[in-house]
């Protein structure tokens, strides 16, 4: 089980030495970032945004102290602590982590795996093995790979790039929905992870800021525009993404990380 206890307590010297934070640059992160940017805790942070795989790389390399990172990276972090009651999760269809194709999944002979997130790639492998009982050839995705999806070749696409693709391809398989059908559990795609001890007053302020961002979701929705006229941000933030890192999501994370460790 991943540790969700507080790290060793240390004095708060973050004003002089701000915590280096990296977070996913996708739309689904905006409510959490909105809370951080509106709070005094931002004065204790050096913040940057990146694609999920880059967030994970920086945390592993010690280039960041705190990250909203794909959860599949957690086993590679020797001192990983989940520091927040909030995450990027879902209780069913997530809308932006999907396999697309021109044919049903049982007819796909190969599937591209989006290089932006190891978590989604590992989830695809798990579902192919355990849920769909399929073994297509796995293809490494390169920039522009979405244009190569077609015929019997499918592709995993995640994040903002997935928006609107359901109208382009005949078949869409939502991985959040498939995981729920397979396990009866929600899913956690990304969690706030720290690799160094954090003072308790900082962690408390950090969580309050995240909560504030979610409380001001209606306000944020007025400030953001959807990248697709048929994609509702209201539905996305309120129905598809679930930000609470609660006990069912902890169990789901434990279940998923057991698989991740088994295939290392």
Within a domain: 1: no
Total-model pTM: 0.91
Domain range for 212 is 19-88+186-262
Model confidence over 158-206: pLDDT tens digits? 999 999 999 999 999 999 999 999 999 999 999 999 998 899 999 999 9
193 and 166 inside one domain: no
Task: Tell me what pLDDT residue 31 has.
Answer: 97
Task: Tell me what pLDDT residue 117 has.
Answer: 86
Q: How far apart are CA 43 and CA 18, in angstroms?
A: 8
Task: Compute the average pLDDT of residues 81-110.
Answer: 98
**Has residue 2 got a pLDDT over 90?**
no
- At 10, the pLDDT band (50, 70, 90 cuts) reads very low
Within a domain: 13: no
Q: How many CB atoms lie within 10 A of CB 42?
A: 16
CATH number assigned to the domain comprising residue 154: 3.40.190.10
Encode 141-197 in three state secondary structure. Answer: CCCCHHHHCECCEEEEEEHHHHCCHHHCCCEEEEHHHHHHHHHCCCEEEEEEEECCC
**Has residue 133 got a pLDDT over 50?**
yes
> CB of 252 within 8 A of CB of 88?
no
**Has residue 13 got a pLDDT over 60?**
no
Task: Tell me what pLDDT residue 15 has.
Answer: 52
- At 116, the pLDDT band (50, 70, 90 cuts) reads confident
Within a domain: 79: yes
Task: Tell me what pLDDT residue 16 has.
Answer: 63
Last residue of a domain, one of 183, 206, 240: 183
DSSP string, the chain: ----S--------TTTSPEEEEEE-SGGGHHHHHHHHTSGGGGGEEEEEE-HHHHHHHHHHTS-SEEEEEGGGGGG-TT-EEEEEEEEEESS--SSEEEEESS-GGG-SEEEE-TT-HHHHHHHHHHHHHTS---PEEEE--TTGGGG-BTTEEEEEEGGGGTTGGGTSSEEEEHHHHHHHHHS--EEEEEEEESS---HHHHHHHHHHHHHHHHTHHHHHHH---SSTT--HHHIIIII-EEE--HHHHHHHHHHHHHHHHT-
Task: Tell me what pLDDT residue 17 has.
Answer: 78
143 and 191 inside one domain: no
**Has residue 224 got a pLDDT over 90?**
yes
Task: Tell me what pLDDT residue 6 has.
Answer: 45
**Has residue 9 got a pLDDT over 80?**
no
Task: Tell me what pLDDT residue 213 has.
Answer: 96
Higher pLDDT, 153 or 263: 153
Within a domain: 157: yes
- Comparing 74-78, 142-146, 208-212, 250-254, the range with the smallest average pLDDT is 74-78
Model confidence over 234-257: pLDDT tens digits? 999 999 999 999 999 999 999 999
Model confidence over 31-84: pLDDT tens digits? 999 999 999 999 999 999 999 989 999 999 999 999 999 999 999 987 899 999
| Number of domains observed in the structure of the chain | 2
Within a domain: 11: no
Residue entry with tokens 């970032």: 33
Within a domain: 4: no
Within a domain: 8: no
47 and 102 inside one domain: no
Within a domain: 12: no
């Amino acid at each position: 089980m991943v540790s969700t206890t507080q790290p060793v307590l240390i004095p708060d010297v973050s004003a002089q030495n701000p915590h280096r934070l990296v977070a996913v640059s996708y739309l689904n992160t905006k409510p959490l970032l909105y809370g951080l940017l509106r709070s005094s805790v931002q004065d204790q942070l050096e913040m940057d945004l990146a694609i999920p795989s880059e967030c994970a790389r920086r945390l592993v390399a010690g280039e960041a102290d705190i990250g909203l990172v794909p959860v599949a990276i957690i086993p590679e972090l020797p001192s990983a602590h989940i520091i927040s009651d909030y995450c990027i999760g879902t209780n069913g269809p997530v809308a932006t982590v999907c396999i697309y194709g021109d044919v049903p999944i049982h007819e796909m002979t190969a599937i591209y795996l989006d290089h932006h997130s190891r978590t989604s790639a590992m989830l695809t492998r798990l579902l192919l093995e355990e849920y769909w009982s399929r073994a297509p050839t796995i293809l490494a995705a390169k920039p522009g790979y979405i244009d190569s999806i077609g015929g019997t070749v499918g592709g995993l696409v995640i994040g903002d790039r997935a928006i609107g693709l359901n109208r382009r391809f005949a078949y869409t398989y939502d991985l959040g929905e498939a995981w729920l059908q397979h396990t009866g559990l929600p899913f956690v795609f990304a969690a706030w992870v720290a690799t160094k001890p954090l003072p308790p007053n900082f962690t408390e302020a950090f969580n309050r800021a995240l909560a504030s961002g979610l409380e001001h979701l209606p306000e944020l929705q007025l400030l953001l525009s959807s990248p697709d006229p048929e994609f509702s941000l209201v539905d996305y933030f309120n129905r598809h993404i679930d930000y609470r890192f609660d006990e069912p999501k902890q169990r789901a994370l434990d279940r998923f990380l057991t698989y991740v460790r088994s295939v290392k």
